[in-house]
Amino acid sequence: MLIIDCHGHYTTAPAKHQTFRDAQIARIKNPALPEPTRPDISDDEIRETIETNQLKLLRERGADMTIFSPRASTMAHHVGDEAVSRAWTEACNDLIKRVVDLYPENFIGVCQLPQSPGVPIANSVAELERCVTELGFVGCNLNPDPSGGHWTAPPLTDKHWYPFYEKMVELDVPAMIHVSGSCNACFHATGAHYINADTTAFMQFIEGDLFRDFPDLRFIIPHGGGAVPYHWGRYRGLADMLKRPPLPEHVMKNVYFDTCVYHQPGIDLLFKVIDIKNILFGSEMVGAVRGIDPETGNYFDDTKRYLDSLALSDDDRYRVFEGNARRVYPRLDAALRARGNAGRDL
């Protein structure tokens, strides 16, 4: 069995990558500055940042592979215009590709999108296609709020998003619904904006009929589904009040939660109320919460430990650590099969 972490970001990219971004931002304020060129980053520089961080932790924690995407908090689709977002996005995605090429056994790519507030999502289709068909990526991170905390885009069930969903279905790739940093002082990025976005997206799916139009569309809602599992009774009750079908058929054929919940009681709840077919192992490592829990002596985000404490059957362990990820990301499954790993048929 492989241990596949469905949620990892390149939060430790070489400093030069951020310097490029800083130059981009400086040029927004002062257009007289030259357009920055992408830095020369050597393979060794990438190795250094990966081997001392994500790969080290992957090994220490006994996991095999991370579905890897650019740092979420710095996607910052609200910074600058669409051209800025596009240049930054391409640089971020190309850097992920280099990590994957250096460690193909351990990382597989998921892309950032060149979203920008007020810009049609159709404009993100080409970058998705490039990343999937040319770079071998297996999914994308879709930001439901490119405004960074002002929520000016329509709900995810709105036809605004349909051109992108059509391409996702055509390419057979899922999206993780993931906001970026917040430029609204009310919302701390990882403490409020992320969790709120997860909760918001789920409720949008209850209200809408998106999966009637796209029965094959698949979303991962990260951070354990935001507030949803804790309030599972509320969501079941709201679906009932709104005359929607029960959640298992209305939403949960298409929506998956990761396990980025940083304490045992939260993980226990997640596995108690959500069908194991809808749960994918994830840690968001190295990410939002980097410290060690004084109550356990272990890293808060070492979520594999919490899962190992559950009394899961071998089949269920396979589902949450490998099988569900292969099902939700068919291109990951295909890549593993191409290496001779057919997985199990459950």
Q: Which long-range CB contacts under 8 A does 44-50 form with residues at least 24 apart?
A: 45/14, 45/16, 46/14, 46/95, 46/98, 46/99, 46/102, 47/102, 48/14, 49/12, 49/13, 49/14, 50/12, 50/99, 50/102, 50/103, 50/107
If one asks whether residue 312 binds a second copy (CB under 8 A), the answer comes out as no
CA distances from 203 to 87, 130, 266, 295 (A): 33, 31, 20, 33
Rounded Cα distance between 171 and 217, Å, is 11
- CB 40, min distance to a second copy, A: 32
Residues 154-173 that bind a second copy (CB under 8 A): 154-155, 158
Cα 259 to chain center, whole Å? Answer: 12
CA distances from 107 to 148, 223, 285, 331 (A): 28, 20, 13, 13
- CB 118, min distance to a second copy, A: 15
Helix H or strand E encompassing 9 = strand 4-10
In the complex with a second copy, which residue's Cβ is closer, 187 or 329? 187
- Computed on alpha carbons and rounded to an integer, the radius of gyration of the chain in Å comes to 19
- CB 264, min distance to a second copy, A: 8
Which range in 42-50, 105-113, 148-156, 213-221 contacts a second copy by CB under 8 A?
A: 148-156
- CB 141, min distance to a second copy, A: 18
Catalytic residue among 45, 51, 90, 284: 284
| 67 φ/ψ angles, rounded to the nearest 5 degrees | -80, 110
Residues 193-232 that bind a second copy (CB under 8 A): 195-196, 199-200, 203-204, 206-207, 223-224, 226-227, 229-232
- CB 221, min distance to a second copy, A: 12
295 is catalytic: no
If one asks whether residue 233 binds a second copy (CB under 8 A), the answer comes out as yes
Pairing between β-strand 279-280 and β-strand 219-221 as defined by DSSP bridges: unpaired
If one asks whether residue 245 binds a second copy (CB under 8 A), the answer comes out as no
Contacts with a second copy, 280-299, as mask; x by CB under 8 A: --------xxxx-x-x----
Binding site for a second copy (CB under 8 A): 144-145, 149-151, 153-155, 158, 184-188, 190-192, 195-196, 199-200, 203-204, 206-207, 223-224, 226-227, 229-238, 240-241, 261-263, 265-266, 268-269, 272-273, 288-291, 293, 295, 300-301
